[in-house]
């Protein structure tokens, strides 16, 4: 693979195309966003080529329902604060500068406590949710 440089501001916001069950009225695209940072020639909604990277912005109060992915997930909180929920464990609050690792098939969700910007990288295609069938992309 030839090296490539991708700026999040040059990538389209795919938030409106992401289907999330149990989600109410979506905020405007300028409030909540998901940018695919993988290869430009890959399909952002069904990526098949590494890297599988996303940069997301979530507003205060946004709730990501419990879901899981088929790939391992590494997350770095660039700005903000979230309350992380994982089945069978007490919630954990963490913020900017925190790196987390989530194994494939782990059922989790989170609530945004302060506007958050998060970099998410999967070690394989994240699509096709594992156990809970809740979401198809980050």
As given in the structure block, the two tokens for residue 126 are: 């994240």
How do residues 51-64 score in pLDDT, each as one tens digit? 899 999 999 999 98
> Where on the phi/psi map is residue 128: left (φ > 0), alpha (ψ -120 to 50), or beta?
left
How do residues 64-79 score in pLDDT, each as one tens digit? 889 888 999 999 999 9
In this prediction, residue 21 has a pLDDT band, given cuts at 50, 70 and 90, of low
What whole-number distance in Å separates Cα of residue 11 and Cα of residue 74?
Answer: 21
> So what's the pLDDT on residue 23?
52
The reply to whether CATH 2.40.30.10 applies to domain 8-122 is no
> So what's the pLDDT on residue 46?
86
> So what's the pLDDT on residue 26?
53
> Where on the phi/psi map is residue 97: left (φ > 0), alpha (ψ -120 to 50), or beta?
left
- Give me the residue spans of the domains in the chain: 8-122
């Amino acid at each position: 693979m030839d090296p490539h440089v991708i700026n999040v501001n040059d990538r389209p916001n795919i938030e409106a195309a992401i289907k999330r069950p149990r989600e109410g009225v979506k905020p405007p695209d300028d409030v909540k966003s998901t940018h695919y940072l993988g290869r430009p020639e890959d399909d952002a909604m069904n990526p098949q080529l590494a890297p599988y990277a996303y940069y997301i912005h979530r507003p205060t109060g946004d709730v990501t329902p419990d879901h899981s992915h088929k790939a391992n997930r590494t997350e770095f909180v660039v700005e903000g604060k979230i309350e992380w929920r994982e089945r069978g464990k007490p919630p954990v609050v963490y913020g900017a500068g925190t790196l987390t690792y989530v194994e494939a098939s782990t059922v989790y969700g989170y609530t945004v406590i302060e506007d958050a910007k998060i970099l998410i990288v999967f070690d394989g295609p994240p699509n096709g949710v594992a156990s809970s069938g809740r979401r198809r992309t980050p």
